[in-house]
Chain A
Amino acid sequence: MRRLLARQYLNAIGDLLGPEAKAAATAPADQPLNGFDMIGAAQLNVGDVGVVEYEKSARAAASAAVDDGSRIDDYLTCTPSGPTDEACLDTFVRNFGRLAFRRTLADDEAADIVAVGVAAGEAYSSFDQALQYAVATALESPSFVYQVEVGESLPGDPTVRKLTSNELATRMSFFLIDSTPSADLLDMAESGTLDSAEGLRAAAESLVARPEAAQAVAAMYDEILGLRALPTITKSGELYPEFSPALAASMRQETLSLLSDVVFTRDADFTELFTSNHTFVDAGLASLYGVTAPPAGEWHEVTFPADQPRSGFFGQASFLSTQAHIELTSPTLRGKFVRERLLCQSINPPPNDVITEFPDDEGLKTMRERLQVHQENPSCAGCHSLTDPIGLSFENFDSIGRHRLTENDVTIDASGELDDQGNFADGAELADLLVNDPNFTDCLVRNVYRASLGHLETDGEEVVVEHLVGGFDDGGRRLRAFLVELVVSDAFRFVGAEQ
């Protein structure tokens, strides 16, 4: 059982009741676990504040929807005879409820909602109020707020259950377009279309082709790549006068633009997100990179300057700024991000009770020299030998991603070695090694898996993950195709039996 993420909840209200209702709705904040909101949504309680928020939001959205009226009429297939026309309200509740709960309502479920609506119709002598209270009741019900995935038992295997067709339609819709299944998709589910491999694949492909799919992928990578931190990061005004909240917002947009270009515009090898020598800039970013600026307020595609070792996301200001301090760069943070987020390797924190004393020596001009102590002290080296060499490859870029050749007048050495993958001269060469590291594609698959299914892979699922990794590699590492492959995989269609 997973609570809808905030964006899914809002999108679902928009799809069910229109943009006015969506604008009136508010969602409780997501709470990540293991780095993913979806894992928190699968484990943590809603809490008092969450329930208060749902109630407030449901009432506001229902009120806006009834005022707007256009979508309500889609579900109101009868003409009410008066403010408390129970039969007509029952018809409405069953029509709307099927879409909101993603399944046909049982009689007692419909009756509970209708009873609230009738009481409201009576209190206010208004059928609109009856509709409003009925809609609000449905929207704050757990059946709307949670994706419930119980499944059906399989003959001969008590450990695994197969999602019902409606549950599968719900899961794929929230995964691929971050919103509730449409009436058409529910019709397909209920008519058995999704039971066949071809039918399921076709439905997934048609969802991935929708514009909302690009937004859903953007939201997923906003989380995976840590872009959400950009609105709250701060930089030294003295050292980086050009840094501003607006520039930070542009950095986020730049990465999401490249993502959309790679995955949806060109449907290219996904690793181009990390190796591309093209990017998208507005005037602020153009100035930061030293490339031609588009007219104010516009964006255009540019090639990174040839004399700067920028490579896709690793060369973008979003990564270089979020994984850095306010004044100084942080090879440790940059390396830690690559290890944890892109290679799925867990890095331990500094030991307790140890003072992380840097040598206070003015003779140490570069970050590489200052960090040498990490490599020499055995209690540090265990982890810093994993993080620092990777991070030092990006030292040609300062704390906001501006290019530089020297630090304190000493030429920066960005070279190093990546595990057993080989040597690199700078960040761009490292990027090429990284994307060909088997751990990189493996981790990419795992991240999508966790973000979509809301749990870390269990031992029993390793086989599926390996299969998906193989398919991803063989298919030219195209993310769009991979999303469809994930939907048709056993991992997506089955759930473990509930304890």
Chain B
Amino acid sequence: MSKFTLSRRTMLRGAVGTSLAALGLPLLEAMMNSHGTALAGGQPLPVRFLSWFFGNGVRLDQWVPSAALAGNNPDGDQPKFETGLFQGDAWQLSEELAPLAEVKEYLSVLSGFYNKAGQQNRRGHHDGAAGCLSGIPFIALDSGNANYASKFGGPTLDQVIVNRLQAQGVNTYLPSLHVGVSKRITTGEGPSLHHIAHKGPDEPIASVLSPQDVYDQLFGNFVPQDDPSGALRTAMLDAVAEDAKRLKQRVGKADQLRLDAHIDSVAQLRQQIAALPPTCTKPGSPTQTNEDTDGKEPLEEVAHVMADLVTLAYSCDLTRVATWQQSGSVGGTVYWMTGATTEEHGLSHEPGGQDLIHAAVVFNMTCFAYLLENLKNTQEGDSTLLDNSAITLVSDAAQGITHSNFDMPFVVAGKGGGKLKSDLHHRSANDRNSANNTSDILLSVLQCFDESATEVGADEGYSNTPLASIKA
């Protein structure tokens, strides 16, 4: 039986709606020491992870914060910028990062890094997503004369962190939460483009696109202690697991592994049903839906309510790990609020469409900023949720027009519970051969959750060299 790590007396007020920028939650306070700097038992405050993803890359000349070098071709494949480490007043937000002004002191913008995992199997977008989210080259599925498809080569960083936390005995109500905003996701080329979280090659994790479904995941499975259905449901799940175990004896190896995964998922649900209700008072259901109006997706509204829900999940310690799929790899999102009438992936390959791509990146950063500001405005003792978070932002390509694996857009936000430096721009290099591996960034973030972690990724994407510039 799992236990909530949150105080029973902590109360959460308010209802989740479309605009709940500040819930003002007195979080974890009952469990904190008198200084508000750690839990009463002496353990540090929990650190939260979030992987924020958007598809189709950026416009590098408007994304990278440092000065363009002389002779730079702004429309070229790989524009060049001043390299080095710029901190505090020595760096300013670029045009595309400008929406993040309120949280600049929490950001590490990392440019000129090379997605080395992506050089192993080249396929635009597939290589970018797999390399930057997992540090592991994707697996190209033998397509013969069928449609191309690929799957991830291993777990994404969020699931690596889940495993590390569970090994430390941290079993939150949900191991991880996966939210999505745009519904125009490319599903036809396998899990690599479809999903941004993967337990492994054969278990992609879908983003939940409906705010109500996210709410139900967070609050829908609690059973009052005096309700007999709780014990009966766990008995049902035990029978289901028995059925799976009997089947395992009859099938081959590959199917045995699938049944093991099925049994694990059954155990996870069983744990949720047996869990005590959260100490937060349950907020009202969200009113915002993720339905189109006249073919237009309510992207901003959904992003806001998802940010509120993620903040709630962290506040109540229902989970410490989340992913956010703002838009898909090769995604077909139409950023109508920028004036675009064309789906983004197609637009990204049109030289004439690059101003609209730029506007879409700016829009996405306003959504990212809303989440970060939400976390920053949520006190947790003497610190804020953003102080106690380590958040990565990545895309599946540097610039959509070229699918380049070099100079990937990468941001780390939050102070990682004191383990991360911030308010900096580190430009690694202007050519891939002397650039740091994007997996170095993943390793530094992983170490916020487990200092004993020494490596991340695999094959070409392997790293055992954390990025020193962002480590406190």
Which A residues have a C-beta under 8 Å from some C-beta of B? 1, 29, 31-36, 43-52, 55, 59, 106, 108-109, 112-113, 115-116, 119-120, 123-124, 133, 136-137, 140-143, 146, 148, 150, 232, 234, 236-238, 245, 325-327, 330, 340-341, 344-346, 349-350, 352-358, 360, 443, 446, 450, 456-457, 497-499
Contact A31 B228, beta carbon cutoff 8 Å: no
A-side contacts of B332, CB under 8 Å: 232
Q: Tell me whether A237 and B341 are in contact in the complex, defined as CB-CB below 8 angstroms, given that A45-B203, A49-B206, A355-B402 are known contacts.
A: yes
Q: Nearest CB to that of B76 among chain A residues?
A: A355
Report the nearest A residue to B150, measured CB to CB.
A33
How far is the CB of B462 from the nearest CB of chain A, in Å? 21
The residue that B183 contacts in the complex, of A123, A150, A232, with Cβ under 8 A, is A232
Residues of A within 8 A of B87 (CB): none
In the complex with contacts A34-B149, A44-B203, A355-B251 CB distance below 8 A: no
Name B16-32 residues within 8 Å CB distance of A.
none
- Please measure, in the bound complex, the distance between the C-alpha atom of A49 and the C-alpha atom of B175, giving whole angstroms: 12
- A438 to chain B minimum Cβ distance, whole angstroms, is 13
Q: CB distance B268 to A450 under 8 Å?
A: no
What 1/0 mask marks residues of chain B from 194 to 237 whose CB sits below 8 Å from any chain A CB? 10000100111110100000000100010000001001110111
Q: Give the residue among B147, B199, B405 with the most A Cβ atoms within 10 A.
A: B147
Task: Determine if A234 and B237 form an interchain contact, defined as CB atoms under 8 angstroms apart.
Answer: no
A52 to B251, CA, bound (A): 24
User: Across the interface, which residues of A come within 8 angstroms of B187, CB to CB?
Assistant: 31-32
Quote the shortest CB–CB distance from A459 to chain B (angstroms).
10
- Of the A-B pairs whose beta carbons lie under 8 Å apart in the complex, a sample of 29, sorted by A's number, is A1-B259, A43-B202, A45-B262, A46-B258, A47-B205, A47-B265, A48-B265, A48-B268, A49-B208, A51-B262, A52-B217, A52-B269, A109-B243, A109-B246, A112-B243, A115-B235, A119-B231, A123-B228, A142-B259, A146-B247, A325-B343, A344-B146, A350-B349, A352-B402, A352-B403, A353-B77, A357-B351, A498-B255, A499-B254
The answer, yes or no, to whether B46 is at the interface (CB within 8 Å) is: no
Whether B341 and A360, one on each chain, are in contact in the complex, defined by CB atoms closer than 8 angstroms, is: no
Chain A residues with CB below 8 A from B204, complex form: 31, 44, 47
Q: Which of B138-183 contact A (CB under 8 A)?
A: 141-149, 151, 175, 183
Check B266 for interface membership: any CB of A closer than 8 A. yes
Residues of B within 8 A of A (CB): 77, 122-124, 127, 141-149, 151, 175, 183-184, 187-188, 190-191, 194, 199, 202-206, 208, 217, 221, 228, 231-233, 235-237, 239-240, 242-244, 246-247, 250-255, 258-259, 261-262, 265-266, 268-269, 295, 332, 334, 341-343, 346, 349-352, 401-405
* Secondary structure call for the A interface: loop
| Cα–Cα, bound, A349→B239 (Å) | 47
Q: How far is the CA of A446 from the CA of B265 in the complex (A)?
A: 34
Partner of A326, one of B77, B148, B334: B334
- Is A1 touching B255 in the complex (CB atoms < 8 A)? yes
Instruction: Specify the chain A residue showing the minimal Cβ separation from B178.
Output: A49
Contacts of A456 in B (CB 8 A): 142-144, 146
Q: Chain A residues near B251: list those with CB within 8 A.
A: 1, 148, 150, 498
A294 to B87, alpha carbons, bound, how many Å?
70
- Chain A's closest residue to B248 (CB) is A142
- 15 extra A-B contacts, CB within 8 A, seeds A33-B149, A49-B208, A344-B146: A33-B141, A34-B143, A35-B149, A36-B146, A44-B191, A44-B258, A45-B199, A55-B236, A55-B269, A116-B232, A325-B346, A353-B404, A356-B401, A443-B145, A499-B252
Complex Cα spacing A143 to B402, Å? 47
Residues in chain B near residue A116, CB distance under 8 A = 232, 235-236, 239
Question: Closest approach, in angstroms, between the C-beta of B161 and any C-beta of chain A?
Answer: 16
- The chain A residue sitting closest to B262, CB to CB, is A46
Residues in chain B near residue A133, CB distance under 8 A: 232, 236
The answer to whether A120 and B232 touch across the interface, beta carbons within 8 angstroms, is: yes
Contact of A143 with B247 in the complex, beta carbons under 8 Å: yes
Residue numbers in B under 8 Å from A236 (CB-CB):
341-342
**Assuming A35-B188, A142-B247, A143-B247, is B145 touching A346 (CB within 8 A)?**
yes
* Closest residue on chain B to residue A54 by CB atoms: B240
Select which of A234, A325, A450 is within 8 A of B146 by beta carbon.
A450
A446 to B250 Cα, complex, angstroms: 29
Closest to A347 in B: B148
Across the interface, which residues of B come within 8 angstroms of A47, CB to CB?
Answer: 199, 203-206, 261, 265
A59, A113, A148, A355: the one within 8 Å of B250 (CB): A148
Most B Cβ at <10 Å: residue of A35, A109, A357: A35
Cβ-defined partner of A358 (8 Å) among B228, B240, B350: B350
Given contacts A46-B262, A116-B236, A133-B236, is CB(A360)–CB(B143) below 8 Å?
no
